[in-house]
Structures are given as structure tokens and as C-alpha cells.
Amino acid sequence: MRLHREGTPTLLLVAAVVCFGLFALLKWPVLPDILAVLIGAALIVVFGIVVWFFRVPSRRTAPDDTAIFSPCDGKVVVIEEVYEPEYFKDKRRQVSIFMSPLNVHINYHPIGGTTSYYKYHPGKYLVAWHPKSSTENERSTVVVRHPKHGEVLFRQIAGALARRICTYAKAGAPAVQGAEFGFIKFGSRVDLFLPLDASIHVSIGEVVTGSTSVIARYKQ
């Protein structure tokens, strides 16, 4: 299993804490044996969870100009028509995907084309499913222009546990459908803002897979 580069500092820190804890349990056995075993097991489990969080799955995206793929792993929590005030300043169809701490937290380009806009916004850390998290939490907005179908906006949103949004997309750079454009550490959410005439292919509560699940298709 390959691990994401964003996990290196966290993994080194957690590994150091776990090693110190295990060493202390062995070197200074002041606790009852059963309690020491439980604490040692808990430390190993915590390290395993952190390793699992930063895993990089092996996926291959079959390019599809008619499809808008999921930008992340998670559960669909919002599908609604909204006013998008930051970039489009008009009505769009919003699809939001909640990422739990157990999901893969890599973010993928849902379409191919050219990155036409990127902006980072500092903000709060409301729980990711809070209605105001899309406009008040720490977030990064990326817009990609498809050469045939126009622009799609996707927004990385920090959650109550997320404390770092990593975005690799830059304005003017090419965007490859299914390629990695960012990473969010721990629980978070990604919003998609699609054309109103896009055909939605998911439903509320559906579990989706980044770079593989089709969220919507353009009007033909």
C-alpha cells in the first residue's frame, strides 16, 4: 500500500509518540499488565488508523467528456439548486459530498480542461455537514473550464477535524480528468457547482468513489 506524501509529517509524529509510549510501557512497568497491554494495543491501533487515512488507492479513470466524476470518496449529502456568489454569481446545481475520517481524502479533477480560477479562503471549522460550512469554513475554490461544456466549480471545505487543505491546482494550468488536484486532512467535504441542465446521476445518501463514480452528465 502506498501512502500519500501529505501524511509524512503526521505519520512521523504519530510513530514517535507510539514508539515512546510502547518504550515507556516496557521500560517502566508501573501499570498492571492487562492495562499496559490495552494501552499498547490502543497506541498501535491509532497508528494503524492514521496509516489507513493516508492510503493512496490504485485507480484508473476512463476519460469521458460527457461525465462529471466525483472529486472525492464519501457520501452525497446535498443535491439542490443554489445561488453561487463567489465566481458564477448565478444559479447552479450543487452536489455536496461528505468525507468521513475513514474515507480516502485525495481530491480528483471531476472534469478535464484548463483551470480558470483558484482561491483560498481562511475561515471557521464548523462540522462539514453544517449548511453554512460551504461559505464560512476554511475552503479552497477551483474552477475548471471544459473546452466543449464550459466551467464547473468545486470547493474543498474544512470540517471540525480538518486543519489543512492542500490544493495543487493553479489558474492557467491544465486539468486532467481523474488526476489528483488536492488533499484534505481528516473529516471534510467537497462541493460541486454544476450547470442547471446537467443530468444528476446520484441521490442523497449514496456512497461515491473519487475519480470513478459519475456524479452528473452534461446535456447532449
Question: Total structural domains in the chain?
Answer: 2
For residue 11, give the H/E element and its range: helix 8-27
Indicate the pLDDT class of residue 4, thresholds 50, 70 and 90.
Answer: confident
**Domain membership flag for residue 76:** yes
**Between 85 and 53, whose confidence is greater?**
85
146 and 78 share one domain: yes
Query: Quick one: pLDDT at residue 86?
Result: 94
Same structural domain, 136 and 161: yes
Cell numbers placing 27: 521500560
Residue 205 has pLDDT above 80, yes or no: yes
- Report the distance separating Cα 111 and Cα 117, nearest Å: 14
The string of DSSP letters for 22-40 reads HHHHHHS--S-HHHHHHHH
Q: Tell me, yes or no, whether 129 lies in a domain.
A: yes
Of residues 213 and 188, which shows the higher confidence score? 213
Whether 132 shows a pLDDT value over 70: the answer reads no
Of the residues 34, 56, 78, the one at which a domain ends: 56
Claim to verify: residue 75 and residue 24 sit in the same structural domain: no
CATH of the domain at 175: 2.70.70
Overall average pLDDT of the 163-175 stretch: 89
Q: Residue 107 in contact with residue 210, Cβ under 8 Å?
A: yes
Catalytic sites, residue numbers:
188
Given pLDDT bands bounded at 50, 70 and 90, which one contains residue 55? confident
pTM, two decimal places: 0.86
Pair (33, 91) in one structural domain: no
HSE at residue 153, side-chain half, CA atoms within 13 A, is 26
Q: Is residue 161 in a domain?
A: yes
Instruction: Report if residue 23 sits inside a domain.
Output: yes
User: Taking Cα atoms as reference points, which of 183, 158, 182 lies closest to residue 170?
Assistant: 182
Within-domain flag for 61: no
Same domain, 77 and 21: no
Q: Tell me, what DSSP letter sits at residue 149?
A: T
Look at residue 210 and tell me whether its pLDDT is greater than 90: yes
State whether 104 and 45 are in the same domain: no
Residues 6+ positions from 34 with CB-CB distance below 8 Å: none
85 and 190, same domain (yes or no): yes
Digit-coded pLDDT (tens) for 67-85: 999 999 999 999 999 999 9
Task: Judge whether 120 lies within some domain.
Answer: yes
Whole-angstrom distance, CA of residue 36 vs CA of residue 31 = 6
pLDDT score, position 134:
65
Distance (Å, whole) CA 114 – CA 96: 22
Mean of pLDDT over the chain: 88
Domain check: are 128 and 170 in the same one?
yes
Per-residue pLDDT, 7: 76
pLDDT in tens, 95-115: 999 988 888 889 999 999 999
Cα distance between residue 157 and residue 152, in whole Å: 16
Residues 42 and 92 in one domain: no
Q: What is the DSSP string of 45-108?
A: HHHHHHHHHTEE--------TTEEE-SSSEEEEEEEEEEETTTT-EEEEEEEEEE-TTS--EEE
Domain co-membership, 79 together with 165: yes
In a domain, 62, yes or no: no
Which of 111-115, 122-126, 155-159, 174-178 is predicted least confidently? Answer: 122-126
Residue 136's pLDDT is: 67
71 shares a domain with 32 = no
- One domain for residues 90 and 144: yes
CB of 186 closer than 8 Å to CB of 173: no
Q: Domain range spanning residue 194?
A: 67-217
- On whether residue 47 sits in a domain, the answer given is yes
* Distance between CA atoms of residues 95 and 16, nearest Å: 40
